[in-house]
Amino acid sequence: MGESDALQSIVYHRGSLRLLDQRKLPLEVAYIDVKCSADGWNAIRDMVVRGAPAIAIAAALALAVEVSGLDFTGTPAEAASFVSEKLEYLVSSRPTAVNLSDAATKLQNLVSRAAETEKDAKAIFQVYIDAAETMLVDDVADNKAISSHGAEFLKQKLGNAKHISVLTHCNTGSLATAGYGTALGVIRALHSGGILEKAFCTETRPFNQGSRLTAFELVHDKIPATLIADSAAAALMKNGCVQAVIVGADRIAANGDTANKIGTYNLAISAKHHGVQFYVAAPVTSIDLSLPSGEEIVIEERSPKELLNSEGGLGKQVAASGISVWNPAFDVTPANLITAIITEKGVITKSDADETFNIKDFIQSAK
């Protein structure tokens, strides 16, 4: 688990965690040290690390670093309670990302069960550390499976076309995950398979994850790519420049409604109008079966400064003083606009009878 290249967003060794400060990309590659859950909370909230899978892993490992050297004198039950409370705190840093809450729940259940049999508080922390480290390893394998399933499915759906161009939004690559990526991973797989003609990426305003991060990854990997303004996507589709749109997800409801970076809904509507296939690529941990539809997804609002100032709020003022701001971080794309959902377990398609997703049955059959 080492620092293999500049695109590794999470650099972890037991007792040590460094996160690539993605706010400084693409002009500067710098890492920050994370020594406790509070550091992890701030890194997530301040967008040092972003992307639903990476957020969950960074949060889990931040707590793993904290407990690895903790002088704790309580009982195993108290150790489990300590871990559980810290995880609840970390979840509050990014409430829309279901991967984070899902990981927290699983880890809480794990330490709770361990507390029933272990006789030493340190053993509880060790169980937790092992599980957090496993998350890091598993994420890369899951991403490669998503990418393989997605590339093969796109080839089939597009009639085994020899040249495919796709549009993506926000950043869903190595910088948003433990490695390789989800939607951008599919693009990588298409490229390695020799059938990607070009990848188009949006700026993804106001924080510019597309122009700063996705473009950075595409150039780094020498993938033929073009950056467009968010507002140019419909014209791009009208001109027949892309055959598919591939995006990630922060939370997918049981019916397939998908919360993702603001602007995703716009792309889905444009894709539907122009007959362009629209795909969501995400691990099954992004699926929240407790929510029947996207109506129940809580949408986080970001600071007004991200619109009032340049560089996603970090630069000089560019908007008129006194103007009100509405700055939701995500929007919800209805399932009827989504062609299919690509996961590490396979591709979730719609039933021929009523054109709806049966995600619950898919997950049960994939276990």
Query: Which residues, given as ranges, of the chain have pLDDT below 50?
Result: 1-4, 6
Q: What is the pLDDT of residue 99?
A: 87
Q: 139, 173, 194 — which closes off a domain? A: 139
Question: Same domain for 26 and 154?
Answer: no
Question: Same domain for 101 and 17?
Answer: yes
> Contact, 345 vs 357, CB < 8 A?
no
φ and ψ at 312, to 5 degrees?
65, 30
> Contact, 179 vs 145, CB < 8 A?
no
Gap between the Cα atoms of 148 and 150, Å rounded:
5
**Active-site option among 102, 142, 230, 250:** 250
Q: 88, 121, 139 — which closes off a domain? A: 139
pLDDT in tens, 114-173: 999 999 999 999 999 999 999 999 999 999 999 999 999 999 999 878 899 999 999 999
Percent of the chain with pLDDT over 90: 89
Q: What is the pLDDT of residue 271?
A: 98
Helices 37-45 and 76-91, packing angle to 10 deg = 10
**Residue 121 corresponds to which tokens in the numbers above?**
């508080």
Q: Dihedral of CA 367/332/99/347: which sign?
A: positive
Q: What is the pLDDT of residue 95?
A: 84
Domain count, the chain: 2
Q: What is the pLDDT of residue 186?
A: 98
Question: Same domain for 178 and 156?
Answer: yes
HSE-CB at 299 with a 13 A cutoff on CA atoms is: 16
> Contact, 10 vs 21, CB < 8 A?
no
CATH code, domain with 42? 1.20.120.420
Q: What is the pLDDT of residue 51?
A: 86
Q: What is the pLDDT of residue 208?
A: 94
Question: Same domain for 151 and 118?
Answer: no
CATH code, domain with 210? 3.40.50.10470
Question: Same domain for 329 and 198?
Answer: yes
Q: What is the pLDDT of residue 162?
A: 85
Q: What is the pLDDT of residue 1?
A: 42
User: Distance between alpha carbon 130 and the CA centroid of its chain, in Å?
Assistant: 22
Gap between the Cα atoms of 181 and 113, Å rounded:
32
> Contact, 298 vs 329, CB < 8 A?
no
Domain assignment present for residue 2? The answer is no
Gap between the Cα atoms of 42 and 46, Å rounded:
6
Gap between the Cα atoms of 184 and 213, Å rounded:
11
139 is catalytic: no
Q: How many residues does the chain have?
A: 367
Gap between the Cα atoms of 300 and 325, Å rounded:
14
The boundaries of the domain holding residue 34 are: 10-139
Q: What is the pLDDT of residue 358?
A: 95
Q: What is the pLDDT of residue 252?
A: 97
Question: Same domain for 97 and 162?
Answer: no
Q: Record the pTM.
A: 0.88
Q: What is the pLDDT of residue 14?
A: 95
